[in-house]
Chain A
Amino acid sequence: DAKTTQPPSMDCAEGRAANLPCNHSTISGNEYVYWYRQIHSQGPQYIIHGLKNNETNEMASLIITEDRKSSTLILPHATLRDTAVYYCIVRPLYNFNKFYFGSGTKLNVKP
């Protein structure tokens, strides 16, 4: 049921920016894009979300393409503690509880 496509894994050097792509070509106009991550089988952790504008918070930036069919999560200065599985999720606006986590991207941050 996941409506997103992500690469299974990516590597990033410590201190460099990590850019994680997500394809959501069937996204509807009122659906939000959410990003969560899961560090070593801990509970998933919310990172950021957006509708159509780019968003930034203390953890990351979210860049959504103009046609909204894809997005990129940017961790500006990756650290070893950012090694995790990152999930891109599309959520219907009026169905607050339909969160489907796909397979995600395993980000490996290397020294």
Chain B
Amino acid sequence: DTAVSQTPKYLVTQMGNDKSIKCEQNLGHDTMYWYKQDSKKFLKIMFSYNNKELIINETVPNRFSPKSPDKAHLNLHINSLELGDSAVYFCASSQVSGGSYNEQFFGPGTRLTVL
């Protein structure tokens, strides 16, 4: 009965490779997000999808491409991985329409290590 799940939990790969991280939510939310937490623990929003439409792209390199096949899934594909991409990536979801607040539910994170 996991609310927001991510796979894989750990990902170790070489520079230059292409990788994907998957996220699924079973909360019926209409908005999903990707966050990056770097080594200094700052959590920064990367993307947000509302009803399968991209509504945020916070100056993220175009090597990162979010893909949302449906409202319950938001995958993150990364091309040509660089050392600086090493971080923990969190997926989150929330219900935006019909409410005045935005409680986000986060997944457990994917720790990406680029060698």
A interface with B by C-beta (< 8 Å): 32, 36, 38, 41-46, 49, 85, 87, 91, 93, 96-104
Chain B 36-57 interface 0/1 with A at a Cβ cutoff of 8 Å (1 = within): 0000111111001010000110
Which residues in B have some Cβ–Cβ distance to A below 8 Å? 4, 31, 33, 35, 40-45, 48, 50, 55-56, 88, 90, 92, 94, 96, 100-109
Q: Which of chain B's residues have a CB closer than 8 A to the CB of A38?
A: 43
A57: min CB distance to chain B, Å: 11
Partner pick for B33 among A85, A91, A97, A102, CB 8 A cutoff:
A97
By Cβ-Cβ distance, the 4 closest A-B pairs, closest first, are A43-B106, A101-B43, A97-B48, A96-B96
Given contacts A85-B41, A93-B100, A97-B33, 11 further A-B contacts (CB under 8 A): A42-B108, A43-B92, A46-B103, A49-B103, A97-B45, A97-B56, A97-B102, A98-B56, A99-B104, A102-B42, A103-B40
Secondary structure at the A interface, as helix, strand, loop or mixed, is: loop
Are A43 and B45 closer than 8 Å at their CB atoms? no
Residues of A within 8 A of B43 (CB): 38, 44, 87, 101
Residues of B close to A49: CB separation below 8 A: 101, 103
Chain B residues near A43: list those with CB within 8 A.
4, 90, 92, 106-109
- Summed over the interface, the residue pairs from A and B with CB atoms below 8 Å come to a total of 59
A38–B101 CA distance with the chains assembled, in angstroms: 20
Decide: A96 near B90, CB < 8 A? Known: A46-B104, A101-B43. Answer: no
Docked pose: A55 CA to B84 CA in angstroms: 40
B41 touches A44 (CB 8 A): no
A101–B102 CB distance below 8 A: no
Q: Chain B residues with Cβ under 8 A from A101's Cβ?
A: 35, 42-44
Q: Whole-angstrom distance from the CB of B111 to the nearest CB of chain A? A: 8
Chosen A-B contacts, 11 in total, with CB atoms closer than 8 Å, are A38-B43, A42-B109, A91-B102, A96-B102, A97-B33, A97-B50, A97-B102, A99-B45, A100-B44, A103-B41, A104-B41
With the chains together, A87 CA to B109 CA distance in Å? Answer: 17
Residues of A within 8 A of B94 (CB): 96
